[in-house]
Amino acid sequence: TVWWNQSSALVLCMDVGFSMSNSAPGEEPPFELAKKVIQKFVQRQVFAETKDEMALVLFGTDSTKNPLEQDGQYQNITVHRNLMIPDFELLEEIANQIHPESQQADWLDALVVCMDLLKKQTEGKKYDRLVIVLLTDLCTQASPDELDIIIDNLKTAGITLQFFLPFPAGDDEEGGGDGDRGGSGHPGAGKGLSREQEQGLDMVKHVMLSLDEEDGLDEIYSFRNALEQLCMFKRIERRPTAWPCQLTIGSSLSIRIVGYKAVMDERLKKTWITVDAQTNKRDDVKRETVYCLDDDNETEVQKEDIIQGFRYGSDIVPFSKVDQDQMKYKHDGKCFAVLGFTKQSNIHRHQFIGNQVIKVFAPKDDEHAGVALSALIRALDELNMVAIVRYAYDRRCNPQVGAAFPCIKQHYECLMYIQLPFMEDLSHFTFPSLENKKFVPTEAQLSAVDSLIDSMMLVEKDESGEQKDMLKVHHIPNPAFQRHFQCLHHRAVNPGTPLPPMEPWLKAALERPEVISERCQAPLEEVKRKFPLTAVEKKKQLKTSAQIFGKDTGEPDAKKAKGDEEEEDYNLADIAEGSVTSVRSTAAVIVFIFFCLVVVTPVSFPVCQQLTHRIEQLLSNKNTHYYMKSITCIQAFREQSVKLGKADLYNSYLQSLKRSIPNRGLEVFWDLLVQGMISLFAQGFRIFPPPFSSLEMTCNFYAISAKEEVAAPTTEDTGDVDDLVCDLYFYLTALFWS
Amino acid sequence: MAEWNAYYRNEDDEEEQEEGEQSGEYKVTGRDSLVFLVDASKEMFIKEEDGKPSNFDMTMQVVRSVYTSKITSSYRDLVALVFYGTEQSKNPRNSFKHVYVYHDLDEPGAKRVQEVDELRGSKGAQLAAKTMGSGETSLGDALWCCANLYSDIKLRLSHKRLMIFTCRDDPHEGDSVKDRQGRTKASDLRDTGVIINLMHLMKPGGFDVSLYFRDIITPPEDESDLGLQLEPCAKLEDLQNRVRAKEKKKRVLNRLNLCLGEGINVAVGVYSTAVPARKPPPIKLYRETNEPVRSKTRVFHTQTGSLLLPSELKKAQVYGKKQIVMETDEVDSIKKFEDPGMFLIGFKPMEKLKLHHHVRPAVFLYPEEDDVKGSSCLFSALLKRCSERNMFALCRFTARRNYSPRFVALVPQEEESDEGKGQITPAGFNVIYLPFADDIRTLDAPQLPCASQEQVDKMKQIVTKLRFKYRSDAFENPAIQQHFRNLEALALDMVAPEDIEDLIMPKVDQIDTRLGPLVQEFKDLVYPANYNPETKPAAKRKTADNGGGAEKKPKVELPEDELRAHVQNSTLGKLTVPVLKDACKKFGVRTTGTKKQELIDALIAQLSS
């Protein structure tokens, strides 16, 4: 029931006669439905960019325009468009030029016009299929005189017919498609047909059964049924290409094979091109790439002066394309060679690599190869083993290693090739065990999960004991493609209007089936009750300086509660406190260095160096936690320097640190440092005695009066770090004046 | 044929390929660093009686393999090699005795690999004795020296690891001052974010971690003392595996919520465990100086020559002769369905997961307790029940912003460990990407006769003869290996690159010998006497009998009117690429691309105007 997967020529033949506009009140007239079917049909073809060609014939038209019209025959039939690849023009014509008209025409006559068109316009070209699609309400009396001749001609020409009628053709309407989704409720099914329609239907059935005794009636669809199945654009067409090769085992056993891609991660074929916004022309936009040296002047380098190189660790090795081609790994080309066989259990599904599955058959005209391959497939299947093979598509492509699995279906047998990883592709990570006391679920919790699983089972046995899968995701079209085409189509047909919302059916297709959603409500509530889940807002925020400095034992959550803002908004008081405690704190190693060495002996160069090293070490971790530690160190450094009256080392270190901030991307750290210093002023710590700088003293003075209003200063431009002292000065002056 | 090629990256085109949106990209947050701190005491050089390499030799082999693997897979990582317990001293300020910095923290390069090579084998042991010797041990000094290596680095380090290789469980032999110093320095290092691992090696009488090193190393991530239970490494392979498992930081691709239902969010991390390694892209160099150049791309107006801002550009696609134009942000909005996350749809029995439903390499899921407290417990419960009931969870998965959703199967994987030697597989869910309808192609399977049981049985004998135990890390990629050998040879001025062993080449001779007469017996059973599978079938496949005309014979030029007719009827797609290329040449159409669609677009643009 796949309508046309291969290149075909197709005539859409639509009844636009006056009866098509008749409808019961509240129902869409058959004309509108038929038009929608045609629109969806053409849309699919346009976006699939198939090479299929399409013609459009209308009957019941007021005028007559067809090659067969003569002597009053074949009247009111119009060939609207000859056989060609469908495009947006056709879509627009269907939207704007096809209206209900006031005549009636014999649908069999129209069929003959279509056959004639197909015959003439396909002459000398090759098509896989010739199809005529007839959409009519069968209200016009058709003359059955030449029915048998028509059937004979259809048969000889190899033309397939499809009928779309406003009503279902038979008692059961499951016929068309796989009937996976939808397909229930057919308005109009019970409505009595007119005598003409009944006669017409009999003729249609007769024709269809004459063409195909078994499945002929399956090709009669109702408009509605067709619309439901057509709501998905045709899959992007990819015709499988054969890859002939030989499967080899050792040097003397080979089997002729043909490979086809069976599953493949499809991407959209087309990429976006860039156009000028004013003219919408691609040619108005030019992209130019220039090369320059990485020096201050950005000296431009001509393209001819550029050679290629590769990295070998820290070395860059010049390696020309020619040399590269000459020295690169070469192999004998196309191959499918068995390296050996292994148990299927040695192959782990999660280690499959690549993005495709290749099915390997014997060539269809070589039954000996068929038997040989069948022997291999069955042997592997019976032994539960796979072949490990070297696979190379051709000489230009690098070889891969992969597994060929046996696959035995009711109608065919094949090998399925899937690529396996190379050693270089794997990363072996160790994760903490989940058998941890803290995480092991209780029996009650496990049973809550059990009920959840029970309620959410997508595969169930129906009354007849057969398994029914409620959601076959491999039947759902890729929503990315659907949405993409929906938007493109909208923009093409309605330029200048905003893009439409996602189609409801597409949204629904991605959701839990409704039955499941309803059924799982109670078990979900139970899971919610049994498993407390608390989102840790931003884990870094919780680490206030109090925690960092190991002071969080006494007052556990008071500080944490405050830390709800951005992580940069460190609580200033905390930092200040931190600096005080740091002097006596146990945590930071800085204390060790300082108290053991500094306090005893005067600040000497090596000790300072140790300290600054330590700070640098901490700063190499870009993490607020380590920033806070560094700030503690710096503050201690300052404090101790002051105590010992040796400010120069501290000042020069701070200067050099400041210079390196932009290069090292430590702006956040610097902000924190500045804030920390400010809060020291604010709280009136007396740790800035005279020798530092007069500005700081000024600050100190102001700070005391600004005590209550300490808030985080927002540095607007972190890229340009201002002098610490100036920053403080401005901030505090501002406070003073406010 | 062109179609197949489209999916195989042509080596030379690699640089032109746009960055794949494959799952393997990480956000670069800094450099990883790794310091090998290796014991150089006499004990390390003792040779095993059975000709097995000494502990020192084994360590050097591991160091070398890490160096080369870093060069191949993550050359920006920094690596250092430091020896302790040496007679000689060599360190930046020479302030530490008996510590020999062989390589300071830097990107590994060809020279370093060579220098490590020199320390291997018995010659290596001699060289080590000559240059470094064995002397006193102070782990404290060694660690302090390593701390300086880290602090001398002005780069941003995202991951810092130090591995101690030793076979002595009591390095200071009871000297409590040194012991304490070592402990203090180790804790300093750990405080600065360095993870310290112990790679303890065989020692007569067994290696007692609790004697001293327990206080040195970073406690394992979980509380089960995983690290301490480990046996010392006796085999090179074990050591290599253990180092490899630790050497790389587990990098989370992204963290997101697995949503079971309204308000039930389990925080999970997504990890990729198998990503195809690619040859790194070439770097453009200035011919005169061999220094790398930067490229700058400008977009300007063809007519006016003025630079165009992003706001002055739009995006377009052509379908059915029509150019459809959209704003750049509309293009993004089309791609967006929902915020990143995983949404549970339901459960299915494992047999519903088809082997051939494979479209991408899988990723791995592990709970993130730090993001949502309680995640591990619920995750663990789901894992346990899915595993016991042989189920997988079906989810909808949006990996990143502006990525369209895909359906995935969460397949439970239970933890597996190897008798105290380490984890083989971690506990968690493997995330298998499932195909959409578009990804599955309809094939016409040929109707062919099946083999008889006799024929199958003969093949079974063949299969059984060629059994082996497949291991996923057994095969190296010959193309990548060759590339790096070539670079190595050029970097080190070697005469010729070292030969690589193509491990995925069938060992034909061995296969033939193993199979012996079986092959002929099988052939006699399935092939008639005159059949030769090597020759092409007599009747060459003729795709078009005649009507196809020019399109099947690229040599024949396409007449202009026919080409115009193709343009008119939008049937250009029926022509082959060579014909299209010829046509482009003939009509002077400037083409930048080689893709079929680009040629077609160019021709249409030229001929329909």
B26 against B441, higher pLDDT: B441
| Interface list for A 694-733 with B (CB within 8 A) | none
For the segment B565-584, the average pLDDT, to the nearest whole number, is 76
Q: What is the pLDDT of residue A399?
A: 94
- Whether A299 and A226 map to the same domain: the answer is no
Say which amino acid occupies A616: E
- Whether A224 and A286 map to the same domain: the answer is no
Is the predicted pLDDT of residue A572 greater than 50, yes or no?
Answer: no
Is the predicted pLDDT of residue A608 greater than 70, yes or no?
Answer: no
For the segment A494-522, the average pLDDT, to the nearest whole number, is 89
Q: Which of A550-564, B246-260, B345-359 has the highest mean pLDDT?
A: B345-359
Contact B477 A424 (CB under 8 A): yes
pLDDT in tens, B478-505: 998 888 888 888 887 778 887 888 889 9
pLDDT in tens, B548-562: 343 444 455 677 777
How large a percentage of chain A has pLDDT more than 90? Answer: 30
Q: What is the pLDDT of residue B218?
A: 81
Please compute, for residue A580, the number of CA atoms within 13 A of its CA located in the half-sphere on the CB side.
14
- Nearest CB among A125, A353, A409 relative to B547 is that of A125
Is the predicted pLDDT of residue B7 greater than 70, yes or no?
Answer: no
d(CA B42, CA B53): 14
Q: Which of A330-344, B38-52, B227-241, B548-562 has the highest mean pLDDT?
A: A330-344
For the segment B108-135, the average pLDDT, to the nearest whole number, is 88
Residue B132: φ, ψ to 5°: -115, -45
A503 against A675, higher pLDDT: A503
Q: What is the pLDDT of residue B305?
A: 83
- Whether A282 and A365 map to the same domain: the answer is yes
Domain CATH number, residue A592: 1.25.40.240
CA B423 to each of CA A218, A349, B416: distance values in angstroms, whole numbers, following the listed order? 57, 19, 6
pLDDT in tens, A30-64: 998 899 888 878 887 888 777 788 999 999 999 99
In-domain check, residue A384: yes
User: Using H for helix, E for strand and C for coil, what is the string for B552-608?
Assistant: HCCCCCCCHHHHHHHHHCCCHHHCCHHHHHHHHHHCCCCCCCCCHHHHHHHHHHHHC
Is the predicted pLDDT of residue B346 greater than 60, yes or no?
Answer: yes
CA A443 to each of CA A446, A526, B391: distance values in angstroms, whole numbers, following the listed order? 5, 14, 19
Chain B interface includes A737 (CB < 8 A)? no
Residue B494: φ, ψ to 5°: -80, 155
Chain A interface includes B283 (CB < 8 A)? yes
Token pair listed for B431: 């995330």
In-domain check, residue A141: yes
pLDDT in tens, B73-88: 777 888 999 999 999 8
d(CA A334, CA B129): 52
Q: What is the pLDDT of residue B223?
A: 42
| Interface list for A 230-269 with B (CB within 8 A) | 235-236, 238-241, 243, 246, 248-256, 260-266, 269
What 3-state class would DSSP assign to A329? coil
In-domain check, residue A528: no
For the segment A569-588, the average pLDDT, to the nearest whole number, is 31
Say how far residue B108 (Cα) sits from the centre of its chain.
18
**Residue the block writes with tokens 């405050």:** A562
pLDDT in tens, A365-398: 999 999 999 999 999 999 999 999 999 999 888 9
Confidence of residue A610 (pLDDT cuts 50, 70, 90): low
- Whether A344 and A394 map to the same domain: the answer is yes
Q: Let me know: does A20 contact A60? Beta carbons within 8 Å.
A: yes
- Whether A44 and A156 map to the same domain: the answer is yes
Segment among A594-598, B252-256, B442-446 with least mean pLDDT: A594-598
Contact A413 B8 (CB under 8 A): no
Confidence of residue A726 (pLDDT cuts 50, 70, 90): very low
- Whether A29 and A156 map to the same domain: the answer is yes
Q: What is the pLDDT of residue A348?
A: 93
Question: In this structure, what is the dihedral angle of CA atoms A625, A628, A634, A636, given to the nearest 10 degrees?
Answer: -110
Q: Let me know: does A185 contact A191? Beta carbons within 8 Å.
A: no
For the segment A434-450, the average pLDDT, to the nearest whole number, is 90
Confidence of residue B512 (pLDDT cuts 50, 70, 90): very high
For the segment B193-197, the average pLDDT, to the nearest whole number, is 86
Chain A interface includes B532 (CB < 8 A)? no
Is the predicted pLDDT of residue A674 greater than 70, yes or no?
Answer: no
Segment among A408-422, B58-72, B207-221, B338-352 with least mean pLDDT: B207-221
Taking residue A695's Cβ as centre, other Cβ atoms within 10 Å add up to 15
Segment among A529-538, A604-613, B223-232, B359-368 with least mean pLDDT: B223-232
Q: Where are the alpha helices (DSSP H) in A415-533?
A: 443-455, 479-493, 504-509, 514-519, 521-530
| Interface list for A 536-595 with B (CB within 8 A) | 536, 539, 588-589, 592
d(CA A159, CA A119): 10
Q: What is the pLDDT of residue A170?
A: 62
In-domain check, residue A693: no
Query: Directed axis angle between helix A605-619 and helix B139-152, to 10°?
Result: 70
- Nearest CB among B271, B384, B464 relative to A441 is that of B384
- Whether A222 and A246 map to the same domain: the answer is no
A326-363 burial, b at 16+ Cβ within 10 Å, e below that, comes to: ebebebeebbbbbbbbbebeebbebbbbbbbbbbbbbb
Mean of all residue pLDDT scores within chain A? 75
Taking residue A152's Cβ as centre, other Cβ atoms within 10 Å add up to 12
- Nearest CB among B260, B275, B450 relative to A527 is that of B260
pLDDT in tens, A417-440: 999 999 888 877 778 888 877 889
- Whether A290 and A224 map to the same domain: the answer is no
Contact B486 A328 (CB under 8 A): yes
pLDDT in tens, B11-62: 333 322 333 333 333 344 567 888 999 999 988 988 877 777 888 998 998 8
Question: In this structure, what is the dihedral angle of CA atoms A325, A330, A333, A336, given to the nearest 10 degrees?
Answer: -140
Please compute, for residue A305, the number of CA atoms within 13 A of its CA located in the half-sphere on the CB side.
16
Residue B250: closest C-alpha in chain A:
A429
Contact B293 A306 (CB under 8 A): yes
A614: Cβ contacts below 8 Å, ≥ 6 apart: A589, A590, A593, A633, B151, B192
**Chain B residues touching A378 at Cβ < 8 A:** 450-451, 456, 459
ipTM of the complex: 0.76
**Residue the block writes with tokens 């990582």:** B77
Chain A interface includes B29 (CB < 8 A)? yes
For the segment A585-609, the average pLDDT, to the nearest whole number, is 42
Chain B interface includes A214 (CB < 8 A)? no
Q: What is the pLDDT of residue B539?
A: 43
B489 against A527, higher pLDDT: A527
Q: What is the pLDDT of residue B249?
A: 59
Q: What is the pLDDT of residue B452?
A: 95
pLDDT in tens, A140-158: 888 888 888 999 999 998 8
Strand order in the sheet with B31-39: B99-106, B78-84, B31-39, B157-166, B194-200
- Nearest CB among A236, A276, A306 relative to B286 is that of A306
Q: What is the pLDDT of residue A229?
A: 58
Q: DSSP labels for A662-721? A: HHHT-HHHHHHHHHHHHHHHHTT-----TTS-HHHHHHHHHHHHTGGG------S-TTSP
In-domain check, residue A19: yes
Q: Let me know: does A352 contact A420? Beta carbons within 8 Å.
A: yes
B279 is catalytic: no
**Torsion sign (Cα): A503, A506, A510, A512:** positive
- Whether A613 and A664 map to the same domain: the answer is yes
Token pair listed for A661: 């901030």
Domain CATH number, residue A38: 3.40.50.410
- What's the Rg (C-alpha) of chain B? 31
Q: Where are the alpha helices (DSSP H) in A308-427?
A: 321-327, 367-383
Catalytic residue among B27, B296, B540, B555: B27
d(CA B305, CA B283): 29
Domain CATH number, residue A325: 2.40.290.10
Confidence of residue A441 (pLDDT cuts 50, 70, 90): very high
In-domain check, residue A539: no
Contact A427 B275 (CB under 8 A): yes
Mean of all residue pLDDT scores within chain B? 82
d(CA B380, CA A419): 31
How large a percentage of chain A has pLDDT more than 70? Answer: 72
Contact A479 B404 (CB under 8 A): yes
Q: Where are the beta strands (DSSP E) in B331-404?
A: 341-349, 363-367, 372-373, 391-398
Domain span at residue A103?
Answer: 8-170+193-230
- Whether A28 and A113 map to the same domain: the answer is yes
B54-75 burial, b at 16+ Cβ within 10 Å, e below that, comes to: bbbbbbbbbbbbbbbbbbbbbb
Bridge partners of B413, per DSSP, are: B428
CA B420 to each of CA A723, B212, B221, B232, B417: distance values in angstroms, whole numbers, following the listed order? 57, 20, 16, 10, 7
Q: What is the pLDDT of residue A227?
A: 63
d(CA B89, CA B135): 10
Domain boundary among A682, A710, A729: A682
Contact A316 B283 (CB under 8 A): yes
- Whether A324 and A254 map to the same domain: the answer is yes
In-domain check, residue A522: no
Is the predicted pLDDT of residue A447 greater than 90, yes or no?
Answer: yes
B26: Cβ contacts below 8 Å, ≥ 6 apart: B251, B253
**Chain B residues touching A361 at Cβ < 8 A:** 445-446, 448
Our count of domains for chain A comes to: 4
**Residue the block writes with tokens 């039930």:** B264
Domain boundary among A380, A395, A425: A425
In-domain check, residue A608: yes
Q: Where are the alpha helices (DSSP H) in B390-467?
A: 453-465
**Residue the block writes with tokens 């059975």:** B50
pLDDT in tens, A87-105: 888 888 888 889 999 999 9
Confidence of residue A632 (pLDDT cuts 50, 70, 90): confident
Say how far residue B175 (Cα) sits from the centre of its chain.
45
- Whether A282 and A255 map to the same domain: the answer is yes
Confidence of residue A238 (pLDDT cuts 50, 70, 90): low
Is the predicted pLDDT of residue A453 greater than 80, yes or no?
Answer: yes
CA B498 to each of CA B65, B110, B116, B278, B493: distance values in angstroms, whole numbers, following the listed order? 16, 13, 17, 20, 12
